[in-house]
Amino acid sequence: MAIIGGTGLYQLAQLQDVESHQPVTRYGAPSGPVRVGMLAGRRVAFLARHGEGHSMPPHRVNYRANLAALQALGATRVLALNTVGGISTAFAPRALGCPDQLIDYTWGRVSTICEEPGTEVLHVDFGEPYSRSLRAAVLAAAKKAGVPVADGGCYGATQGPRLETRAEITRMRRDGCDLVGMTGMPEAGIARELGLEYACLAIVANWAAGAGPDPDEVITLQDVLDNVAVASAKLPSLLGALLEG
């Protein structure tokens, strides 16, 4: 099992007997060292998506290298932790969610492992973009740990790094998006191409622009980090139950 941490989640404090790896893949180097250790009796790899010092914006992350590095270290399942803004009522700040659909609004990112000339062109099935079995395991673990996690919902992946306009969020709501983040794609698509079981555990940091009770609210980084810190306090018990299960 591998865990990719997002904004506000740069390490897994519970990891024991940690070894650090700096793999270089055919796609280049990942965002930072991969920390491999034991958690709840299982070997787990952890990687901070934006680098441990958050030096990489969402559009510059080498998603291919990150996933290939985790796979090279033996991971077959990847749980992606993604900090998001909430659009629909189930995704209020500090909530956790496990979406089952996504819409990709990103552009100009390297979004496939079929990029280099001469590589086989894959047209992977992506109708159900997240692994059904890993999602079920996450939801069962959440129940066992007594941690509320919203089941399902559509993740809208935006380009960033700026946040969205209110009109963009209104359009995304119309499109059927329940949450919005900047890193869900191309990560999920590349994971599918690589044959990894991949699911997203979304951590709601704020109401998306204009989606909350105060339509004039300004989203600050401090609010985002505070809400992620509060929501993340629920992760150790959930991850423990997931790995034991």
Q: Is 163 in the site for ligand HPA (CB under 6 A)?
A: yes
Site for ligand HPA in 140-159 (CB under 6 A): 158
Q: Specify whether the CB–CB gap between 202 and 181 falls below 8 A.
A: yes
The DSSP output letter for 115 is -
The single residue listed with the structure tokens 């139950």 is 241
Asked if 227 is part of the footprint of ligand HPA (rule: CB under 6 A), the reply reads: no
How many Å apart are CA 9 and CA 87, to the nearest integer? 22
Distance CA 87, CA 228 (A): 16
Q: According to the binding rule CB under 6 A, does residue 83 interact with ligand HPA?
A: yes
Crossing angle of helices 132-145 and 235-244, rounded to 10°: 120
Compute the least distance from the CB of residue 235 to ligand HPA, in Å. 16
User: Which residues make up each annotated binding site?
Assistant: 7, 49-50, 182-183, 206-208
Binding flag, residue 208, ligand HPA (CB under 6 A):
yes
Could you say whether residue 164 binds ligand HPA (CB under 6 A)? yes
Query: Does 111 sit near ligand HPA (CB under 6 A)?
Result: no
Q: Cβ(211)–Cβ(87) under 8 Å? A: yes
Closest CB 161 distance from ligand HPA, rounded Å: 9
Detail the residues annotated as belonging to a binding site for phosphate: 7, 49-50, 183
Closer residue to ligand HPA (CB): 30 or 210: 210
